[in-house]
Amino acid sequence: MDAKTLKKKYIDFFKSKGHIEIPSASLVPENDPTVLFTTAGMHPLVPYLIGQKHPLGKRLVNVQRCIRTADIDEVGDTYHHTFFEMLGNWSLGGYFKKEAIELIFEFHTKILGISPKRYAVTVFSGNKTSPKDIESENTWLSLGVPKERIAFLEDNWWWPPGSTGPCGPDTEMFYWKPNDIPGPKKFDPSDARWVEIGNNVLMQYIKTDKGQLLEAKQKNIDFGGGVERTVTVLSGLEDDYLSDTFLPIIKKIENLSNKKYIGNEKAMRIIADHIKASVFIIGDGVVPSNNERGYVLRRLIRRAIRFGVELGLKQFTKSIGTAVFKIYSDSNYDFLQKNKHHILTELEKEENKFTQTLQQGIKEFNKIVDKWKDINGEDAFLLYQSYGFPIEMTIELAKEKNIKVDLNGFNEEYKKHQELSRTLSAGQFKSGLQDNSDITKRLHTATHLLNEALRRVVSKDIKQKGSNITPERLRFDFNHHNALTQDEIKAVEDEVNKIIQQKLTVKKEDLPLKEALKSGCQAEFSIKYPDKVTVYSIGSYSKEICMGPHVDNTSQLGCFKIIKEESSASGIRRIKAVLE
Ligand code: SER
């Protein structure tokens, strides 16, 4: 059975039982600041689960797009995903346990045709605060599920996704996956061959902000079932990535990489899962960044890129992203199709950004490991700050080499840096530099050469108006009224590369400000310098007041290339350049 058929059968069945279909909500929760993403179909319904009247009544059904990030590192096996679709039906203060269990049993056995031989369930065993769920047990027994196929677990409990809200015991349904062996008489929920295909949460309680459980005035049913895994087992497959919810993406990866899925499962699954999730997250309005949702998105894209590089893929996120749109082409996903261009462009932008630093970051990582074995907080932070490695990526790389990362040390560095950035943005410590890694040091020295080359090649009136350096590129603003011509750009590049090849020494000295200015040092006049300043000279070519740090010799720079020349403000031009 394919996913479209499953979804249609589910919606049609529950509609025939008086439920109204509601649309899938956004992945970005509208009214819940305590969670980053919509993790289940019940999430957008919380106000109605705690008593508000739903305009469409007490029986609802839908297919909800969800993101769960807790298991990102587990993705790579046959059934963990960050993005998935969830079949959901709700009773908002209407029917309760008995009818809910009867409905889902009918759907599973009559509509989907699952044989009782492959069916088993779990029920809440009770604990110190709440009693055993005898009503659910009796309902399952009355439907013909044998005693041996009912397991009692203390874990059968659903807590709200945020810190407060509706919750209660749940009862889960399992499917015996192997085609060649009949389902054992006695159900063992720890045997992974039993796959969970549904969960009925029996919402009897409300968790308060003090952590207490209060008996809910309105008792609800919240059913959720994963589309991907249900499709897989119903199709007799062992692996979710071979069902129609993933296969087109896997095929695309095979084509692009010229490698087979068999033998490369882990990398291909991670790429397929993470790119699919990223397409949906961008589709719901998030862009990669270093904060919250944007950071999760960045982590997903960058992890996919790392595994892509292992498969020899280059510039691939856009093509693989395209395959996602083919899977989700029904009318529920109009918003995705409408945003296609934007989504693919964001993927490509993030890939371009990260590809430039990934290889160098891996080199740096290996260097650190060769030297120290384990990774301390400062190094982990360097990888994060200068090479764009999400900390989780550093930890994953370290795990593959059986070494440790000092996470506390990283967190301390991160905090220190945040304090420093606050100081920087308060204007107390001006510098165009963000960190001291090799790559930014090289770009910084190149910036001095560019500054001088512009004066020598284009106009002696040019002065620096601003500078900003990231590990990917330098950015230099200067006063000039016209756009540089192609010839001028080429001449500036040639000039800088000529000096690089002269292997000039970079010298650092501390001088009284007056003396430095008298000697013809370049300085930014908008900056208030202290009485004593540091001056960096590159041979006799350039001399600037600057806090550094710089490389020792221009021979360390490589080849200088201008990638963009544009207007930055009236009378101010901006150059972006890289070292290759
Ligand atoms: N909220 C429950 C779950 O996510 C049932 O929908 O499993």
Strands 213-226 and 542-545: unpaired
* Ligand 1 atom nearest 42 alpha carbon: 1
Average pLDDT rounded to a whole number, residues 545-574: 89
Asked whether 41 lines ligand 1 (CB < 6 A), one says yes
Locate 170 and state its tokens. 């749940």
Nearest CA to ligand 1 atom 2: 224
Domain with 498 in it: 438-579
In Å, how far are 384, 428, 437 from 434, measured between CA atoms? 12, 14, 9
CB atoms within 10 A of CB 370: 8
Query: Does the residue 395 lie in any domain?
Result: no
Query: Could you give the CA distance from residue 298 to residue 438 in angstroms, rounded to a whole number?
Result: 24
Secondary structure (DSSP) of 77-104: BSS--SEEEEEEEEEESSS-HHHHHHHH
Cβ neighbours of residue 221 closer than 8 Å, sequence gap 6 or more: 89, 90, 91, 94, 95, 96, 97, 100, 200, 201, 202, 203
The pLDDT of residue 429 = 36
**What is the 188 CA–ligand 1 centroid distance (Å)?**
21
Query: Does the residue 99 lie in any domain?
Result: yes
Pocket test for ligand 1, best of 24, 42, 49 (most atoms within 8 A of CB): 42
What percentage of the chain has pLDDT greater than the value 90? 67
**Of 88 and 238, more confident:** 88
In the sheet with 532-538, reading across from the earlier edge strand, the strands are 506-512, 532-538, 542-545
Query: Does the residue 19 lie in any domain?
Result: yes
The pLDDT of residue 420 = 66
Query: Does the residue 375 lie in any domain?
Result: no
- Count of domains observed in the chain: 3
Asked whether 203 lines ligand 1 (CB < 6 A), one says no
Asked whether 157 lines ligand 1 (CB < 6 A), one says no
Average pLDDT rounded to a whole number, residues 111-118: 95
Q: What is the DSSP letter of 108?
A: I
Asked whether 199 lines ligand 1 (CB < 6 A), one says yes
Residue ending a domain, choose from 353, 386, 408: 353
Q: Whole-number mean pLDDT of the chain?
A: 90
Residue type for position 120? A
**Of 341 and 520, more confident:** 341
The pLDDT of residue 533 = 78
**What is the 397 CA–ligand 1 centroid distance (Å)?**
33
pLDDT exceeds cutoff 50 at 304: yes
Query: Does the residue 34 lie in any domain?
Result: yes
Query: Does the residue 423 lie in any domain?
Result: no
Assign 432 a pLDDT band (cuts: 50, 70, 90). Answer: very low
Query: Could you give the CA distance from residue 186 to residue 150 in angstroms, rounded to a whole number?
Result: 8
Decide: 96 and 80 in contact? Cβ < 8 Å.
no
Asked whether 168 lines ligand 1 (CB < 6 A), one says no
Cβ neighbours of residue 447 closer than 8 Å, sequence gap 6 or more: 432, 467, 469, 474, 476
**What is the 161 CA–ligand 1 centroid distance (Å)?**
10
pLDDT exceeds cutoff 50 at 76: yes
Query: Could you give the CA distance from residue 10 to residue 169 in angstroms, rounded to a whole number?
Result: 24
Asked whether 224 lines ligand 1 (CB < 6 A), one says yes
Average pLDDT rounded to a whole number, residues 519-536: 75
**What is the 172 CA–ligand 1 centroid distance (Å)?**
10
Q: Is the same domain home to 278 and 207?
A: no
Query: Could you give the CA distance from residue 517 to residue 546 in angstroms, rounded to a whole number?
Result: 12
The pLDDT of residue 431 = 37
Query: Does the residue 410 lie in any domain?
Result: no
Q: Is the same domain home to 218 and 263?
A: no
**What is the 541 CA–ligand 1 centroid distance (Å)?**
67
Average pLDDT rounded to a whole number, residues 391-396: 90
Highest average pLDDT, of 206-215, 257-266, 436-445, 468-477, comes from 257-266
What is the pTM for the complete model shown? 0.72
Nearest CA to ligand 1 atom 3: 224
pLDDT exceeds cutoff 60 at 526: no
Pocket test for ligand 1, best of 65, 71, 196, 201 (most atoms within 8 A of CB): 201
pLDDT exceeds cutoff 50 at 433: no
Q: Is the same domain home to 31 and 119?
A: yes
pLDDT exceeds cutoff 90 at 489: yes
Assign 517 a pLDDT band (cuts: 50, 70, 90). Answer: confident
Q: Is the same domain home to 37 and 186?
A: yes
Query: Could you give the CA distance from residue 487 to residue 334 in angstroms, rounded to a whole number?
Result: 47
| Residues 548-562: tens digit of each pLDDT | 789 999 999 999 999
The pLDDT of residue 237 = 93
Q: What is the DSSP letter of 24?
A: P
Q: Is the same domain home to 338 and 260?
A: yes
pLDDT exceeds cutoff 70 at 93: yes
Domain at 137, CATH number? 3.30.930.10
Q: Is the same domain home to 58 and 201?
A: yes
Assign 430 a pLDDT band (cuts: 50, 70, 90). Answer: very low
Query: Does the residue 529 lie in any domain?
Result: yes
Asked whether 226 lines ligand 1 (CB < 6 A), one says no
Residue ending a domain, choose from 353, 381, 412: 353
The pLDDT of residue 422 = 60
Q: Is the same domain home to 87 and 137?
A: yes
Domain at 547, CATH number? 3.30.980.10
Residue ending a domain, choose from 353, 386, 411: 353
Q: Is the same domain home to 464 and 316?
A: no
Average pLDDT rounded to a whole number, residues 232-259: 96
What percentage of the chain has pLDDT greater than the value 70? 95
**What is the 554 CA–ligand 1 centroid distance (Å)?**
60
Instruction: Name the CA radius of gyration of the chain, rounded.
Output: 30
The pLDDT of residue 106 = 98
Decide: 86 and 142 in contact? Cβ < 8 Å.
no
Strands 194-207 and 532-538: unpaired
Asked whether 42 lines ligand 1 (CB < 6 A), one says yes
Decide: 544 and 445 in contact? Cβ < 8 Å.
no
Assign 226 a pLDDT band (cuts: 50, 70, 90). Answer: very high
Q: How many residues does the chain have?
A: 580
Q: Is the same domain home to 221 and 279?
A: no
Nearest CA to ligand 1 atom 5: 224
Q: Is the same domain home to 76 and 223?
A: yes
Q: Is the same domain home to 200 and 347?
A: no
Asked whether 173 lines ligand 1 (CB < 6 A), one says no
Decide: 151 and 196 in contact? Cβ < 8 Å.
no
Asked whether 175 lines ligand 1 (CB < 6 A), one says no
Asked whether 201 lines ligand 1 (CB < 6 A), one says yes
Q: Is the same domain home to 251 and 207?
A: no
pLDDT exceeds cutoff 80 at 161: no
DSSP-based three-state secondary structure for 483: coil
* Ligand 1 atom nearest 225 alpha carbon: 6
